Structure 1
């Protein structure tokens, strides 16, 4: 466990790192409420508390379906000198909408960076958009299962589309970080010969959860290997955190009511909102979560060490991290799939889905 005071001190130090010569830029998918909004708000508070004279500057893009004037007001109040922009999405479960939003975001950040006189760069991408679904299979118009489309395909498409800004070369050098908020602990058996779970017998709540988790880990490993020295990715379990996901998901009356009844009891063991936001911001600490092949000499915050990667190797560039910023124990089933080359199959499957949809066709694999 990384102590919260170390997390907070590290985030303050990052906020004051003026050697970068440019503002810290974060993108938060699903940032209008819940975990994403906590991350955005804590980034704003950290920079606001160190003050305009000490802060390197901050720019945060919030991606979501509906703008939250309350959240934007809180962000601007916490950091009056920061820039906070809402980028409206219609449906982040549709790849064509992810592409549209990504293009708009790249255009906005390029304009800002040109005006400021530096290359366009994203320092931290938080992918937290998602829904709860306990029913049967529902496909989007693009041929992807609805919950997987939002929780996996749409998220990794966002990462892919923003890779030019995440891996942008700047001076001094800076690594792009991705915080993929899901749950690596759901990794279990997957249906290797039916990755899309199209067979009704294969489609179950357990299989869908395992596919979401293992797909996320393996895709991040593939990206880390393909972008050595420039990209660090974390599959992050946030723990129990107050979230409005039950209200924004298409749940039946009974399940929605159960969530409302359970919520007061869950708060007893929940991770506090402010701590959750601070810990997600900490995932952008390059010395603790370095990219693969990192050869730079980096000073670690007191009380920390270089994290063990998802593949069991220290500093591998792709990490499975618990809510308290500890590395999660390597998963035996995932290790076997990795050894059998399933990770590459998942990456290729995902790329085929992207290419098929981009060509205007329905993905039917």
Structure 2
């Protein structure tokens, strides 16, 4: 039986206690982690493996040699864990397709997909070799390509399959630039516009996929402020931006959630060790729609800006653009 999120904010102590009760009966039997070689994804993966349940995990990253110590630690912490590292540059859609094809060639079902690739374009707009803006490739198009390729495996699971996508849930806006979805015009491009545009696009697109695949739980979660190495990259030649963020980081750390605690929260979302009593999806249902979780760890329903976005037919426009971009890689 699927279980769902509480609509109120559970204390961290409750989350940790619930996670500690994970067993082979309610933990995922296999999972794919994209973005787990650092930051929140790494903390979540570490916490899941430490629970000592039998599990096979595919970890997607760019360089296996650089991650060898981490992989050895994971394997050493749980003799029942089968950790498979697959090398891939997930900002490139062709690489995402190749990695997914390898997973599909090995597995007939999948219990969990965790997506947390992170990047902040402090240095301005940058495009991949495939012509996709880098932040959009990592935070939106690449993640959706993983979802679309691996959905058949998730649908084949009988073990409460779910997708957890970390991002800007709660940052959605009705002030959308639907005539320039990828913000290619210089006047439209900014970190703020990009974050709001992609948060809205992701909510609308995942909502559609959740409705079409009611047996898979879709979670779009905002982890809140967590000071990870995401703040150490993406500056390009803008040294002054790096200096400014460096000055702000000590103050940020005072109010930020630690990586370990963020990992506990994310494990809570990813697993079914907890029972859902009163949580509702964005459509105010118990299932068959997207669960959107704010940085306060509260669920969001379809109100305000999202209703206005629907009125503008934004969902269909984002969907059409997503299909156009990803079609060569499906």
* TM-score using structure 2 length: 0.87
Distance 1:248 1:60, change over 3 A: farther
Aligned to 1:190: 176
**Which residue of structure 2 aligns with residue 177 of structure 1?**
162
Residue 65 (1) aligns with residue 62 (2): yes
| SS, match of residue 131 in structure 1 | coil
Alpha-carbon contact 1:222-1:344 (below 8 Å) kept: no
Displacement of 1:60 in angstroms is: 1.6
1:75 corresponds to: 74
CA contact (8 A) 2:119 2:135 kept: yes
Per-residue CA deviations over 1:223-263 (Å, capped at 9, x if unaligned) read 111112x2111111111223111334344333233333333
Partner of 2:97: 99
Aligned to 1:249: 234
C-alpha deviation, 1:318, in angstroms:
0.6
Listed as ranges, the matches of 1:44-193 within 5 Å are: 44-47=49-52, 55=53, 57-67=54-64, 68-89=67-88, 91-108=89-106, 110=107, 120-169=108-157, 173-188=158-173, 189-193=175-179
Equivalent-residue separation in structure 1 for 2:310 and 2:153 (angstroms): 29
Map of 2:14 onto structure 1: 6
What's the counterpart of residue 6 of structure 2?
none
Contact 2:283–2:289 under 8 Å retained in 1? no
* Alignment partner of 1:271 is 2:270: no
Q: After the TM superposition, which parts of structure 1 deviate over 6 Å for at least 4 consecutive aligned residues?
A: none
**Are residue 202 (structure 1) and residue 188 (structure 2) matched?**
yes
SS in 1 for 2:299: coil
Higher relative contact order (CA 8 A, sep 6+): 2
- 1:317 and 2:289 are equivalent in the alignment: yes
2:36 corresponds to 1:31: yes
Distance 1:322 1:277 in 2: 15
Q: Matched residue pairs, number?
A: 318
Q: Structure 1 residues 72, 247: CA separation in 2 closer, same or farther (over 3 Å shift)?
A: same
Aligned to 1:40: 45
Q: TM-score if structure 1 supplies the norm length?
A: 0.79
The two structures, once aligned, show a CA RMSD in angstroms of 2.4
Structure 1 residues 259 and 59, CA gap change in structure 2 (3 angstroms): farther
TM-aligned CA distance change 1:73 to 1:265, over 3 Å: farther
Deviation of the 1:306 alpha carbon: 4.0
Quickly say closer, same or farther: Cα 1:284–1:317, change in 2 above 3 A.
Answer: farther
Counterpart of 1:327? Answer: 299
**Structure 1 residue 123: deviation in Å?**
1.6
SS in 2 for 1:143: coil
Equivalent position SS for 1:184? coil
Residue segments in structure 2 that go unaligned for 5+ positions in a row:
1-8
Looking at structure 2, the residues matched to 60 and 271 of structure 1 have their Cα atoms a distance apart, in angstroms, of 26
Moved more, 342-351 or 4-13: 4-13
Q: Quick check: 1:217–1:310 contact (8 Å CA) kept in 2?
A: no
Give the gaps of 5 or more residues in structure 1.
48-54, 111-119, 288-299, 360-365
* CA shift in 2, pair 1:204/1:264, >3 Å: closer
Q: Is the 8 A contact 1:15 1:24 kept in 2?
A: no
